[in-house]
Homo-oligomer: A and B are copies of this chain.
Amino acid sequence: MSMNTFGHLFRVTTWGESHGPALGATVDGCPPGVAISEEMIQQWLDKRKPGQNKFTTQRQEADQVRILSGVFEGVTTGTPVQLMIENTDQRSKDYGDIAEKFRPGHADITYWQKYGVRDYRGGGRSSARETAARVAAGGLAREAIKMLAPGVEITGYMTQVGPHGIDRARFDWDQIAQNPFWAPDAEAAEAWATYLGELRKSGNSVGAVVEVIARGVPAGIGAPVYAKLDTDLAAAMMSINAVKGVEIGEGMNAATLTGEDNADEIFMGNDGQPVYSSNHAGGILGGISTGQDLVVRFAVKPTSSILKTRQTITKSGEAAEIITKGRHDPCVGIRAVPVGEAMMACVILDHLLLHRGQVGGQIGENRGKIG
């Protein structure tokens, strides 16, 4: 990844600040012929946008995406696609009192130290608002994947809020769209609602864990050693604001397993394709997909913009206190779900293209046959 661009062939460059006129994604390398419209992308932005429910930030943004280039008569041309979202509800006055102070836990201080100039309004470029551009790019990636690898399905959901996890025995795909948390466990969703309601009233916040699954991904994508599929997924998720940990498959828990327990044994399936006894690997071996579900998890830290006084310093080096007023998000992890899905889509598409570039063949076709 290079500064503000990620991807090898499907290359996304995001731009824009929280309180600037607009933000967006310049998407280069999209295959031609992908049917795309503003509506197709908008649905994913609507899933992400603030003001959506009482558990996420109350900023009201229309988040209307415009396609400014790269599409002609309803399909991509293979030239760069500019996806722009205008900022409409900045409410600068909510942030005006922190021009001089550095909010603890935010990038205010590091952006200042590094660049010597910072757009303090809403966190400027460090704001999670940047993720709207990713979600737009992810919407385009999804449509390209539909065209190239129609069996792929990408779904994100929350598995943990604070110390409260889901019960995987109650896992139900249909629940995900039924509650404000994209929780696949209805009981957990209720518990979280109560828990977050209290947190919100007390002006505090908490972290969360998001899991993103991709089903139907062909085996064989990923480019070892440094563009391994898991490497690119780790980078993609870690680049999301407030993420502090990324896991593939068993994740950190793999450390506790023995070799006997961890290995996914291999058998021939009925359809002449290899099948595995389990999926501790999370769908990736040696950085290349196995054809099993890709399983990625990431932890989002709690926001530091809370309604409690924190100690900090000013630019001139004086001690100060700071407290967030106005909008406050008890759990920013919730809005990371569509962002994680978008990143998964972009990385998968990128690797489908990268594989056919270096190795060739039809998408889904393996150069090395088995059987």
Contacts and interface: CB of A to CB of B under 8 A. Distances in A.
A234 B238 contact: yes
Contacts of A111: 224, 286, 288, 368
B368 A112 contact: yes
Contacts of A367: 32-33, 113-116
B259 A105 contact: yes
A231 B1 contact: yes
Contact of A299 (B26, B82, B252): B252
Contacts of A302: 254, 257-259, 261-262
A254 B259 contact: no
A117 B77 CA distance: 6
B244 A282 contact: yes
A53 interface: no
A98 interface: no
Given A235-B231, A354-B357, A224 B105 contact: no
Nearest to A104: B263
A5 B15 contact: no
A327 interface: no
A194 interface: no
A102 interface: yes
Contacts of A308: 259-260
A79 B207 contact: no
A223 interface: yes
A80 B4 contact: yes
A139 interface: no
A198 B244 CA distance: 35
A119 interface: yes
A179 interface: no
Contacts of A56: none
A110 B2 contact: no
A260 B251 CA distance: 27
A371 B301 contact: no
Contacts of A1: 1, 226-227, 231-232, 235
Contacts of A310: 263, 265
A230 B68 CA distance: 28
Interface string A238-280: 1101011111111111111111111111111000101001001
A353 interface: yes
A114 B355 CA distance: 8
Contacts of A299: 251-255
B238 A228 contact: yes
Contacts of A222: 110, 114
A119 B77 contact: yes
Nearest to A244: B254
B259 A79 contact: no
A315 interface: yes
Nearest to A367: B116
A287 B126 CA distance: 9
Contact of A267 (B6, B68, B105, B319): B319
B224 A79 contact: yes
A327 to B, nearest CB: 14
Interface stretch (A16-24, A57-65, A89-97, A169-177): A16-24
B207 A257 contact: yes
5 contacts: A17-B72, A109-B290, A116-B368, A245-B255, A272-B317
Given A1-B226, A209-B252, A257-B302, 5 more contacts: A16-B69, A113-B288, A115-B368, A233-B238, A254-B300
Shortest 10 CB-CB contacts between residues of A and residues of B: A107-B286, A357-B357, A317-B371, A116-B367, A205-B259, A110-B288, A1-B226, A15-B80, A254-B301, A207-B255
